[in-house]
């Protein structure tokens, strides 16, 4: 079997979203709101909308935020609109109070536009809607004294479904792959922006509508080339279907796409080397149909033990926040120096890694660390490591000592509500231009 079979199985894995538990909770939320705002109506389905990536059918396994909307009666709009001092905030607080008994924690978040229900393994973000016309709804924004904003989720869902049908499912598959890519590489890339840019890519490259899985390596080369050519400083794009502004807050995807493209641009599409690069880009859940030959040869030659663990085998991964992993180097008689300022890292240096967490991630959360030694010496010493562990100082701080030559790396994972929501990595080349006991 070749790489096309790997993509087929990987897509099946990504689309295997367990929704039964979420669906039960959606029904409880809907019933609660119908009863409170529609005169005792106990319907579990009326006035409910599934929006966001799940609504557009582009979410993947492990999705940790469920975006929903509830359409409130017009008289509720009039009631809160008539208030002089931020009726939008009052509405959100009242909805929060109504739903507070359904979740372990209920808060108002999302720049004061949604009510968040936190469960043990995911969050539900509920936005109150009011019907405006066939395509549009009003929703509350409690910022700057309060206002009503317009949203158009139905055209976004409709256009996505049309493109899925016209592209024989390739649009959905590629949107799934882009989410797997951002989760593997550990950067924030909003779901609506992903779907919008993939949609625009297909419109500009219609020959990919009928692509087979065997064509995906070339399709991905073309897609990463397209993404890397976009302006990282562009503030917004017009969303698929709705043409509303979808903002690009960081633009990291442009540099990440350039790295991905450079990784694969000169590699034959059907080669074993390409398969290994695809696993580097999308993660170890891409089925291991072809072994990574160099690593396999080391295990066979030195009888080393494969101790590596993968965070995606332990927790769902849905990267939603940025994180930086910094490293400072010390040895006796030296000042602490940032790793990136040292051109040639030698053995017997002390390393201190710190995870710099986004202020948007509220406590409680946990941080896990992974140290992976790479190369021939690591296998000779049977010390490839790679286990997922706690920080050796505290959850934000991990310490190691350089010991032997090789390209090594350290990763940090932020885990909130049982989901990996942020991921960072720092490379540690020792005597290579830089194994960690590490």
Q: Considering the entire predicted model, what is its pTM?
A: 0.83
Do 146 and 170 lie in one domain? The reply is: no
Helix, strand or coil for residue 206? helix
pLDDT of residue 401: 86
Query: Token pair for residue 50?
Result: 């599934």
Which residues lie closer than 8 Å to 122 by C-beta, 6 or more apart? 22, 63, 64, 65, 66, 316, 417, 418, 419
pLDDT of residue 343: 63
Please report, for the domain that includes residue 52, its CATH number: 3.30.460.90
Do 31 and 87 lie in one domain? The reply is: yes
Which residues sit opposite 109 in a β-bridge?
114
DSSP-derived pairing of the beta strands 123-131 and 65-71 = parallel
DSSP string, 281-324: HH-TTS--SS--HHHHHHHHHH--------GGGTS-B---S-EE
Which residues lie closer than 8 Å to 318 by C-beta, 6 or more apart? 62, 63, 64, 65, 183, 419, 420, 421
Do 24 and 126 lie in one domain? The reply is: yes
Do 114 and 84 lie in one domain? The reply is: yes
Do 403 and 313 lie in one domain? The reply is: yes
Do 383 and 424 lie in one domain? The reply is: yes
Domain that residue 388 falls in? 292-430
Within 318-405, where are the H helices?
A: 376-380
- Residue 284 included in any domain: no
Listed residues 246, 264, 282: the one ending a domain: 264
pLDDT higher than 60, residue 437: no
pLDDT-derived band at 50, boundaries 50, 70, 90: very high
pLDDT higher than 90, residue 342: no
**What sign has the CA pseudo-torsion 310, 15, 69, 120?**
negative
* Distance set, CA 393 to CA 95, 354, 368 (Å): 42, 10, 12
**pLDDT tens per residue, range 279-305:** 999 998 888 655 455 566 677 777 888
Distance CA(362)–CA(357), nearest Å, equals: 10
Distance CA(289)–CA(311), nearest Å, equals: 20
Please report, for the domain that includes residue 415, its CATH number: 2.60.40
pLDDT higher than 60, residue 27: yes
pLDDT-derived band at 435, boundaries 50, 70, 90: low
pLDDT-derived band at 338, boundaries 50, 70, 90: confident
Q: Tell me the Ramachandran region of residue 241: left when phi exceeds 0, alpha when psi lies from -120 to 50, beta otherwise.
A: left
- Angle, CA of 227, 233 and 235, to the nearest 5°: 95
- Residue 156 included in any domain: no
Q: Do 134 and 76 contact (CB within 8 A), yes or no?
A: no
Do 53 and 140 lie in one domain? The reply is: yes
Q: For residue 195, count CB atoms less than 10 angstroms from its CB and return exposed for 0-12, middle for 13-18, buried for 19 or more.
A: buried
Query: Token pair for residue 300?
Result: 């066979």
* Distance set, CA 157 to CA 55, 58, 110, 191, 406 (Å): 6, 10, 21, 13, 48
Helices (H) and strands (E) in the chain, counts: 13, 17
Do 330 and 403 lie in one domain? The reply is: yes
Count of structural domains within the chain: 3
**pLDDT tens per residue, range 198-208:** 999 999 999 99
pLDDT of residue 47: 97
- Residue 303 included in any domain: yes
- Angle, CA of 54, 55 and 56, to the nearest 5°: 90
pLDDT of residue 434: 47
**pLDDT tens per residue, range 383-426:** 889 999 998 889 999 998 888 777 789 999 999 988 999 999 99
pLDDT higher than 60, residue 138: yes
pLDDT-derived band at 429, boundaries 50, 70, 90: confident
Do 321 and 392 lie in one domain? The reply is: yes
């Amino acid at each position: 079997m070749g790489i096309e079979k790997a993509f087929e199985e990987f897509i099946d894995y990504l689309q295997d979203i367990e929704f039964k538990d979420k669906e039960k909770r959606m029904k409880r939320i809907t019933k609660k709101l119908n009863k409170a705002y529609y005169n005792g109506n106990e319907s579990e389905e009326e006035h409910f909308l599934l929006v966001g990536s799940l609504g557009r059918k582009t979410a993947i396994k492990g999705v940790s935020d469920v975006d929903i909307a509830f359409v409130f009666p017009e008289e509720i709009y009039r009631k809160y609109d008539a208030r002089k001092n931020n009726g939008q905030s009052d509405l959100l607080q009242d909805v929060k109070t109504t739903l507070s008994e359904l979740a372990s924690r209920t808060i108002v978040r999302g720049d004061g536009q949604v009510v968040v229900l936190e469960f043990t393994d995911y969050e539900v973000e509920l936005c109150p809607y009011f019907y405006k016309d066939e395509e549009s709804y009003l929703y509350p924004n409690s910022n700057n004294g309060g206002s009503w904003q317009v949203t158009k989720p139905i055209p976004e869902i409709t256009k996505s479904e049309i493109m899925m049908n016209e592209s024989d499912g390739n649009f959905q598959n590629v949107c799934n792959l882009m989410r797997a890519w951002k989760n593997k590489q550990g950067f924030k890339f909003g779901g609506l922006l992903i779907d919008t840019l993939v949609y625009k890519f297909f419109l500009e490259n219609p020959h990919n509508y009928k692509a087979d899985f065997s064509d995906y390596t070339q399709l991905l080369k073309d897609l990463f080339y397209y993404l890397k050519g976009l302006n990282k400083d562009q503030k917004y794009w017009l969303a698929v279907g709705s043409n509303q502004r979808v903002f690009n807050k960081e633009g990291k995807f442009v540099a990440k796409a350039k790295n991905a493209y450079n990784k694969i641009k000169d590699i034959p599409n059907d080669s074993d080397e390409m398969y290994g690069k695809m696993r580097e880009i999308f993660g170890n859940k891409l089925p291991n149909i072809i072994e990574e030959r160099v690593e396999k040869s080391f295990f066979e030659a030195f009888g080393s033990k494969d101790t590596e663990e993968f965070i995606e085998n332990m927790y769902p991964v849905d990267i939603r926040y940025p994180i930086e992993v910094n490293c400072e180097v010390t040895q006796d008689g030296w000042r602490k120096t940032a790793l990136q300022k040292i051109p040639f890292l030698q053995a017997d240096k002390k390393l201190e890694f710190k995870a710099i967490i986004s202020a948007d991630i509220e406590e409680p959360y946990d941080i896990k660390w992974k140290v992976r030694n790479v190369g021939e010496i690591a296998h000779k010493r049977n010390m490839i490591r790679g286990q997922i562990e706690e920080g050796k100082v505290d959850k934000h701080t991990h310490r190691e000592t350089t010991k032997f030559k090789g390209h090594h790396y350290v990763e940090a994972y932020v885990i909130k509500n049982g989901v990996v929501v942020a991921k960072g990595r720092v490379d540690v080349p020792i005597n290579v231009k830089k194994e960690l006991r590490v």
